[in-house]
Amino acid sequence: MAARSSDRRAEAVRALTRRLGHDFRDPALLDLALTHASVGEGAERDARGRLFADNQRLEFLGDRVLGLLVADRLMRDYPDADEGEMSSRLHALVDKSACARVAEAVGVGDAMRLSPGEAKQGGRRREGVLGDAMEAILAAAWFDGGIDAARAVFDRTWADELSAPPRKSLTNPKSALQEWALAHAKPLPVYRIVERKGSDHAPTFTVEVSVTGYPPLTAQGRSRQDAEKAAAIGLLQREGVI
């Protein structure tokens, strides 16, 4: 059973590599980008005996790499756009939802290394897990082949997001939901933790948000704050505000 699971993941990694359009000179970098924090505490060793743990440090860099690549692309594609329009487009292209959609499209979930518990809890389809891994992949490409490699992966994988009509994006969805509630003469939104599961180093929060007179909505996140933001966005989207 373990061997079959390993074979399936290896094939998923090969398929992902083809979709990324970048043949990693150092495959361990891609493997690291696909390793979720739930795999285990402490360092592990790759096939060459080098120490690594999970993709969190790569995700940290990848977030900045993505921002740079998007800003550069927008400067080229929209020479007449003002700073406000550029900022709005940038936020829509770099937010976790966009990263997760890209990751889903190229098959990141099936290629990830997760703990059995995280996999059972749906980690391969979870927005935060996928979005972080996609950012980590950009960083891995950056380390493997420099900015040109990272840009090639970005141009290929973000093509649909770049060609889609601009999505409305919010830098502070909780404030937006609060303003919407007040504008409708409603009390402030109420957030409630419905569930907390997972290990201490990789928890998942489920939060419910409610506004008087409207059905409540639940969403998940890697922290309480992330879950509350996701719930606020979900409610605003459901009510047609964004």
Residues that are catalytic:
63, 135
User: Rounded distance, CA 223 to CA 203, Å?
Assistant: 7
Tell me the C-alpha to C-alpha distance, in Å, between residue 43 and each of 51, 52, 230: 6, 5, 31
HEC letters along 146-204: HHHHHHHHHHHHCHHHHHCCCCCCCCCHHHHHHHHHHHCCCCCCEEEEEEEEEECCEEE
Residue 44 host element (H or E): strand 44-45
